[in-house]
């Protein structure tokens, strides 16, 4: 059914309690402050970015590394690769555990892609973050605690959808990721009041569904 959630599959979650300084440096962590790493791979990248951000709200952890893999989980390098590797770094293993728990909770119960057509051959991610954590707020140049709409869809749908979203409510495009991203989707981050973000996300999802129904106007 349209707009059924597609629950992300968490493919691996591991923890390195005392990581080697060289590894810490290579993945963007600071050996002075960080000793433990928490790693996750998942078959949906954008929900994982949201979940990594969620983790920074629940524990004293930093998201030091988060990269999507080329062409997405359909073309993964192994059965545990999925389409993203996210790395949390913290001062000790307990903090990292807390962070990973929040991350997994968010992936299981909150952030996910939705089907934009009956069969799920088009997917959409019209996610509203009510309160940004430290990771995405820094990435977006916003203040932690602000709301943000995180919108993702395939290239054509996303482009039409983004236009609809920007016109639907009083929102500002903070960052637009035109296609192709690593996973060949297109994305946008919109900032505004929570109600405006919600209206924009709804307009985005509706437009993506509409494009799926009428792919060719002529």
Partner 1 sequence: MSFTRTMVQDLRVRLAGADPLPPPPPVPEIPLPPARVFPSPKRRSPFAAAAARHTTALVGIGHVGTRYATDVVLQFQAELAVAHGAVHTELPEDWAEKNGLLPLQSRVREHREFLLRPDLGRRLDEPSVARLRERGRKGVDIQPILADGLSAVACMGAGRELLDSFVKSCEARGFSVGTPVCARFARVWLEDEIGEVVGAKVAAILLGERPGLGTGDGLSAYLVYDPKVGRTDGNRNMMSNIHARGVPPEQAGKRLAALAGAMLTQRTSGVPLDLAPLRGELGDAVGGGYRAPDPRVRLVSVGEPK
Is residue 18 involved in binding partner 1 (CB under 8 A)? no
Applying CB under 8 A, among 118, 163, 170, 193 the residue interacting with partner 1 is 118
Applying CB under 8 A, among 111, 122, 151, 187 the residue interacting with partner 1 is 111
Minimum Å gap between C-beta 2 and partner 1 is 6
Is residue 209 involved in binding partner 1 (CB under 8 A)? yes
Minimum Å gap between C-beta 3 and partner 1 is 4
The full 3-state SS of the chain, as one line of letters, equals: CCCCEECCCEEEEEEECCCCHHHHHHCCCCCCCCCEEEEEEECCHHHHHHHHHHHHHHCCEEEEEEEECCCCHHHCCCCCCCCEEEEEEECCHHHHHHHHHHHHHHHHHCCCEEECCCCCCCEEEEEEECCCCHHHHHHHCCCCCCCEEEEEECHHHHHHHHHHHHHHCCCEEEEEECCCCCCCCEEEEEECCHHHHHHHHHHHHHHHHHHHHCCCCC
Residues near 84 by beta carbon (within 8 Å), at least 6 away in sequence: 41, 42, 44, 45, 48, 49, 66, 67, 68, 69
Is residue 206 involved in binding partner 1 (CB under 8 A)? yes
Which among 8-16, 90-98, 112-120, 171-179 is the span making contact with partner 1, rule CB under 8 A?
A: 112-120
Applying CB under 8 A, among 88, 205, 208, 211 the residue interacting with partner 1 is 205
Which among 11-19, 73-81, 88-96, 201-209 is the span making contact with partner 1, rule CB under 8 A?
A: 201-209
Site string for partner 1, 120-159 (x = CB under 8 A): ------xxx-x-----------------------------
Identify which of residues 182 and 202 has a Cβ nearer to partner 1 in the complex. 202
Applying CB under 8 A, among 22, 74, 79, 109 the residue interacting with partner 1 is 109
- 202 CB-side CA count, 13 A: 8
Minimum Å gap between C-beta 80 and partner 1 is 26
How many whole angstroms separate alpha carbon 84 and alpha carbon 65?
Answer: 10
Minimum Å gap between C-beta 13 and partner 1 is 20
List interacting residues with partner 1 (CB under 8 A).
1-3, 5, 109-112, 114, 118, 126-128, 130, 198, 201-202, 205-206, 209
């Amino acid at each position: 059914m349209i707009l059924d959630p597609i629950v992300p599959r968490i493919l691996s979650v591991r923890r390195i309690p005392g990581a080697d300084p060289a590894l810490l440096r290579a993945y963007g962590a600071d050996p002075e402050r960080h000793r433990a790493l928490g790693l996750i791979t998942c078959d949906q990248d954008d929900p994982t970015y949201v979940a990594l951000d969620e983790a920074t709200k629940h524990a004293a952890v930093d998201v030091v590394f988060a990269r999507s893999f080329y062409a997405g989980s359909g073309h993964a390098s192994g059965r545990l690769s999925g389409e993203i590797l996210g790395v949390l770094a913290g001062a000790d293993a307990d903090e990292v555990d807390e962070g990973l728990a929040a991350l997994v909770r968010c992936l299981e119960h909150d952030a996910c892609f939705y089907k934009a057509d009956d069969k799920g051959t088009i997917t959409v991610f019209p996610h509203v973050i009510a309160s940004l954590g430290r990771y995405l707020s820094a990435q977006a140049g916003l203040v932690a605690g602000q709301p943000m709409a995180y919108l993702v869809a395939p290239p054509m749908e996303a482009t039409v959808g983004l236009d609809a979203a920007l016109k639907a409510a009083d929102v500002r495009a903070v960052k637009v990721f035109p296609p192709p991203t690593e996973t060949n989707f297109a994305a946008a981050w919109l900032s505004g009041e929570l109600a405006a973000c919600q209206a924009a996300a709804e307009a985005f999802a509706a437009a993506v569904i509409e494009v799926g129904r009428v792919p060719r106007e002529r």
